[in-house]
Amino acid sequence: MDKILILDFGSQTTQLIGRRIRDMGVYTEILPGDASLEGIIPAAGEGGDRFRGIILSGSPESVYSSAGAAPDKRVYHSGLPLLGICYGLQRMNFDNGGRVEPLPRREYGGVEVRIGPSAGNGGLRDGAANPLAPRFLAGFDPSLPLTAITAGTASADTGRGFTFTAWMSHGDTLTVLAPGFLEYGRSAAGFPAVVISGSKPWFGLQFHPEVTHSERGLEILAAFTFGVCQCKPGWTMEQYIEEVRRLLQERVGTNPALLLISGGVDSTVAGALLLKTLDPGQVHLMYMDTGLMRKDETRTVKAGLERLGARHLHIIHCEDEFLSALKGLTDPEAKRRAVGDLFITIQEREVARLGLPGSCFLVQGTLYTDLIESGKGVGKKARLIKSHHNVGSPLVEAKRKAGLVIEPLDRLYKDEVRRLGRLLALDEDVVRRHPFPGPGLAVRILGEVTREKCDILREADAVYIEELKRRRGPSGESLYDEIWQAFAALLPIRSVGVAGDIRKYGWVLVLRAITSSDGMTAGVYPFPAKDLLEISTLITNTVKDIGRVTYDISSKPPATIEWE
């Protein structure tokens, strides 16, 4: 399979580059910007897998500061096509003898870029110097549709110049081009925006094509992937299923496999994969009902897994233990710790009780994004923890040491997991489900958690979510599908109200609804007022302990998505 390697220098949008290219059918892998590439390029991988090009991502750092990581020098000797994006371009220029200096004023947001003969010391007509330049510039040519570019043979009409809006965010610029580099595009303020090597298959953009605000962004990435690197699309979910099923069969063999199920999309998809690949008699699924779950969660999870053919479904009812552990706690961190610690204790106890042999595999629903530290941690590929289920768990650590952990979704993004779930015939309700935090309602009930408050919040949240699923949004989809994550939270205060002629003190409920692509940042969902008002009335009419409903209008940052 043809693949593109992305070197991550810490930009917020590195993940997006990967997703955009994968969505066009080409597999991408992200490695830390300064990772050693020995044996990775240009060596061919298993099954004929090979990298056909390398993208150097953006970064919050400067190439001339000590914090600005440099790639393995093999990148420049590999003979592979390179695409430098923002810092990636500055890096290529700097590492090859050019100069990079601070701009008098940052270029930020939508910037007009002109490409063409008058752009700088290069120009479209010089494309002949680098035979791949017209293929790359096809991405910029407004007369070429994406389908023509993904076919891999499109060339730009080099007789014309193009102007388009590109999204930029940089404080440094190329002041002296490296020997052999030519400027093909220039920003309205007069700084290099598109740079191409005259003799090597190297290309550079001072803007971010992966961001939707860049016109022709997708086409430019396609021109690099298909036109320059000549990748053939080979990344399909059907193929992934085949591959991962083969891997599971080979590694697990006839041994038992244990999966801890949370009820969310990832672990459910992992469960479905196991049940459809192994003999269901080998598959042990464990789910803890902590009492901090959404309404009807345990029943729905159980029914869903039984429909998938689960034979050993271990549902642990531990509501009382969790409520006792949370008794008297009001500090958010203390609450999180109490839930996390108890999770581990119960997990160890229950797994021991099952008496599974030492050869039992542990399967986890870890995603690709869980493995890669986003943003600042360049150079340190951290194995982040999926959820609090796994934090410091001795069971997970012991299994990992013994080579008995399998993470069948660890090459997938969230939206790919959803696609996989659909192919595995999971219920649409499960596939589209909003994320839910591991500590559950404990972080959505501010202050002390009690059984009574859990019941009130569960009820109010269910009314809210049901209404979101029932109502259409401006796009024609349900409000639930337009929103990335929605939930209700219960504040530790009562306010005055009237019910009939009687004064009543009801709890204050907060509704949250956000838009996001990965939960790292989030915007407030701009609710149609009518829906918000009607939902509020419905909640106060049906959940008698709620006296007042409010809507949280804070984005992330500065707020977080959850309240605790």
Residues annotated as catalytic (active site), given as ranges = 86, 208, 210
Which 3 state secondary structure label does DSSP give 246? helix
First-to-final CA distance of the chain: 44
Contact indicator for 270, 241 with CB cutoff of 8 Å: no
How near is the Cβ of 255 to ligand XMP at its closest, in Å? 28
Number of residues that bind ligand XMP (CB under 6 A): 12
Distance CA 18, CA 179 (A): 30
Judged by beta carbon, residue 439 or residue 547, the one nearer ligand XMP is 439
**Nearer to ligand XMP (CB atom), residue 34 or residue 481:** 481
DSSP 389: T
Q: Which of 268, 387, 390, 393 binds ligand XMP (CB under 6 A)?
A: 387
Binding flag, residue 444, ligand XMP (CB under 6 A): no
CB of 555 to ligand XMP, least distance (A): 11
- Interaction of residue 337 with ligand XMP, rule CB under 6 A: no
Residue 180 engages ligand XMP in binding (rule: CB under 6 A): no
Q: Indicate the residue among 215 and 482 with the shorter CB distance to ligand XMP.
A: 482
In the set 53, 304, 437, 547, which binds ligand XMP (CB under 6 A)?
437
50 is a site residue for ligand XMP (CB under 6 A): no
**405-406 sheet: strands from edge to edge:** 312-317, 283-289, 257-261, 361-363, 405-406
User: Of 16-24, 143-151, 434-442, 491-499, which part binds ligand XMP (CB under 6 A)?
Assistant: 434-442
CA distance 239 to 262: 27
**What is the C-alpha to C-alpha distance for residues 57 and 15, in angstroms, rounded to an integer?**
10
Q: How far is the CB of 388 from ligand XMP (least distance, A)?
A: 5
Beta bridge mates, 349: none
562 is an interface residue for ligand XMP by CB under 6 A: yes
Residue 117 neighbours by CB distance under 10 Å: 15
3-state secondary structure of 168: strand
- Per-residue DSSP letter, 356: -
Stretch that binds ligand XMP, among 114-122, 227-235, 315-323, 435-443 (CB under 6 A): 435-443
**Per CB under 6 A, 556 contacts ligand XMP:** yes
Contacts of 267 (CB under 8 A, 6+ apart): 259, 260, 261, 364, 365
Q: Which is nearer to ligand XMP, 74 or 556 (CB)?
A: 556
Check: CB of residue 206 under 8 Å from CB of residue 136. Answer: no
Of the pair 8, 370, the CB lying nearest ligand XMP is at: 370
Which structure tokens are listed for 195? 């740079």
CA distance 527 to 284: 42
Q: Which residues contact 114 (CB under 8 A, 6 or more apart)?
A: 161, 162, 163, 185, 186, 188
Decide whether 445 or 561 has the Cβ nearer to ligand XMP: 561
Q: Does 263 bind ligand XMP (CB under 6 A)?
A: no
In the set 22, 200, 388, 548, which binds ligand XMP (CB under 6 A)? 388
268 binds ligand XMP (CB under 6 A): no
Q: Does residue 332 touch ligand XMP according to CB under 6 A?
A: no
438 near ligand XMP (CB under 6 A): yes
Among 180, 234, 375, 435, binds ligand XMP (CB under 6 A): 435
User: Which distant-in-sequence residues (6+ apart) come within 8 Å of 563 by Cβ?
Assistant: 443, 444, 446, 489, 510, 512
Could you tell me which stretch among 203-211, 298-306, 321-329, 556-564 binds ligand XMP (CB under 6 A)?
556-564
Look up residue 125 and give its DSSP letter.
Answer: G
- In angstroms, what is the minimal distance from the CB of 463 to ligand XMP? 20
Q: Given the complex with ligand XMP, which of 7 and 292 has the nearer CB atom?
A: 292
Pick the closer one to ligand XMP by CB: 214 or 387.
Answer: 387
Candidate list 36, 249, 359, 560; residue touching ligand XMP; CB under 6 A: 560
**In the structure encoding, which two tokens stand for residue 33, read together?**
């910007």
Which residues does 322 contact at the CB level (< 8 Å), separation at least 6?
Answer: 290, 291, 292, 339, 342, 442
Nearer to ligand XMP (CB atom), residue 271 or residue 438: 438
Q: Does 439 bind ligand XMP (CB under 6 A)?
A: yes
Tell me which residues in 511-550 interact with ligand XMP (CB under 6 A).
Answer: 519
Shortest distance, position 562 Cβ to ligand XMP, whole Å: 3
**Residue 69: CB partners within 8 Å, gap ≥ 6?**
9, 10, 32, 33, 34, 59, 61, 378, 379
* Residue in 16, 19, 4 with CA at minimum distance from that of residue 419: 19
Question: Given the rule CB under 6 A, which of 49-57, 148-156, 289-297, 554-562 is the region that contacts ligand XMP?
Answer: 554-562
Residue 225 as a binder of ligand XMP (CB under 6 A): the answer is no
Interface characters, 459-488, with ligand XMP (x: CB under 6 A): --------------------------x---
Give the residue, chosen from 310, 367, 511, 561, that forms a contact with ligand XMP under the rule CB under 6 A. 561
Candidate ranges 228-236, 273-281, 373-381, 432-440; the one touching ligand XMP (CB under 6 A): 432-440
Query: Quick one: 479 exposed, middle or buried, by C-beta within 10 A (0-12, 13-18, 19+)?
Result: buried
- Of 20, 107, 4, 9, which is closest to residue 517 (Cα–Cα)? 20
Window contacting ligand XMP (CB under 6 A); options: 64-72, 394-402, 437-445, 498-506: 437-445
Choice between 404 and 561, CB closer to ligand XMP: 561
Q: In angstroms, what CA-CA distances link 98 with 172, 177, 178?
A: 13, 5, 4
Three-class DSSP labels, 6-41: EEECCCCCHHHHHHHHHHCCCEEEEEECCCCCCCCC
Cα dihedral 61/164/158/161 (nearest 10)? -110
Binding segment (CB under 6 A) for ligand XMP, from list 195-203, 245-253, 455-463, 553-561: 553-561
In the complex, which residues of this chain contact ligand XMP (CB under 6 A)? 387-388, 435, 437-439, 485, 519, 556, 560-562
